[in-house]
Structure 1
Amino acid sequence: MLLTQTLRTSRRDEMIDITRQIISLVRQEDIRDGLAVIYSPHTTAGITIQENADPDVKLDVLMRLDEVYPWEHPKYRHAEGNTASHLKAMTTGTSQTVIISEGQLVLGQWQGIYFCEFDGPRNRQFHIKLIKG
């Protein structure tokens, strides 16, 4: 089953915790065991699993990505001017797969699933493929 979720991002770079949305869909579809594949169809946004207990981790990750991939660089050639966004999305990846066991996402104690915006604010989508196993 493929499900699509939409969201509105509010900043150029941000990490939005979508874990509760995924949990809700797993319950709604009554998936007891299987997989959840979360996918971003955008070239300037990604999906990652990261700590969700301390909000400073998100800020640190975004800060470091900005240091590694600055918004402006004299050698960037892409006409839209968002090369850094493409590089950040490539680094985080476009998808994550999470095991579902006994109706629960198998995540570590401090883990959450994040939609990573790198070229906002925008209206975005992400897809969830729930696979019964």
Structure 2
Amino acid sequence: MHELRLRTERQSQLVDITRLVQEALAGESAEAAAVLVYVPHTTAGVTVNEHADPAVARDFETALERIVPAEWPWQHVEEGEENAPTHIRASFMGPSVVIPLRDDGSLALGTWQGVFFCEFDGPRQRSVYVSLLK
């Protein structure tokens, strides 16, 4: 397993980690069928979506903030950590994705697809685990 370390800059932020995931596989993916990308946080997630246009990531950030607004009367309230909506947003995205690998060990993503780390409670230092599946 490889651990990627990220530092996010905003409360809601989608970070394109496609290159980092591919680099974590370098030289080790010859016998693997797929890769698991897993986020060990309850207020962050991971997804695969378009990465050719950065506006798509910003649209995701905005849409999730509107779908799950901070103003609701949340029951999960920790003093100084008012992050109940971030847990819901993270669950919508999910904690993991499995991506098949091509024969050359590269990610079998579509032309426009990329892997995104989804921050909802930043800015923070975060981890992403990358594991080969044989």
Conserved in 2, the CA contact under 8 Å of 1:35 and 1:130? yes
State the superposition RMSD in angstroms: 1.2
Cα deviation, residue 28, structure 1: 3.4
What fraction of aligned residue pairs are identical, expressed as a percent?
39
Cα deviation, residue 32, structure 1: 5.1
Cα deviation, residue 79, structure 1: 1.5
TM-score of the pair, normalised by structure 1? 0.92
Deviations 1:45-78 (A, max 9, x none): 00100100111111111111011011221x2111
Cα deviation, residue 131, structure 1: 2.0
Conserved in 1, the CA contact under 8 Å of 2:15 and 2:116? yes
TM-score of the pair, normalised by structure 2? 0.92
Residue in 2 that maps onto 1:120? 122
Residue in 1 that maps onto 2:30? 31
CA, structure 1 residues 36+58, in 2 after alignment: closer, same or farther (shift >3 Å)? same
| 2:113 maps to 1:111 | yes
3-state SS of 1:28 partner? coil
Residue in 2 that maps onto 1:94? 95
Structural mapping, 1:36-55, within 5 Å: 36-55=35-54
Q: Which runs of 5+ in 1 are unaligned?
A: none
3-state SS of 1:47 partner? strand
Q: Which runs of 5+ in 2 are unaligned?
A: none
Q: How many positions carry a matched residue from both structures? A: 130
Conserved in 1, the CA contact under 8 Å of 2:38 and 2:130? yes
Query: Which structure has more strand as a fraction of its residues?
Result: 1
3-state SS of 1:101 partner? coil
